[in-house]
Structures are given as C-alpha cells and as structure tokens.
Amino acid sequence: MDRVCGLDVHKDSVFMCILTANGEKIE
C-alpha cells in the first residue's frame, strides 16, 4: 500500500501517514 499522505480523506490515511513519518512500514 504505497499511498501519499493526505491522498485519502479517511482517518486511516492520516494515521498511516503518521506511522510512516515515525519510520514505521505499512503494507
């Protein structure tokens, strides 16, 4: 799941963006 932060309006996208920003990898 390679999506740009803020591409989706769902909370999950924002949460994933935060995780990726912390160095976490989401697949």
- Tens-digit pLDDT profile for residues 1-27: 455 555 555 666 666 666 666 666 655
Distance CA 2, CA 5 (A): 9
Dihedral of alpha carbons 15, 20, 21, 22, sign? positive
pLDDT of residue 5: 59
Predicted structure pTM score: 0.25
Q: Is the distance from CB of 17 to CB of 9 less than 8 angstroms?
A: no
Q: What is the pLDDT of residue 8?
A: 58
Distant-in-sequence contacts of 11-19, Cβ < 8 A, 24+ apart: none
Write down the pLDDT at residue 16. Answer: 67
Structure tokens at 6: 């803020």
Q: What pLDDT is stored for residue 13 in this prediction?
A: 65
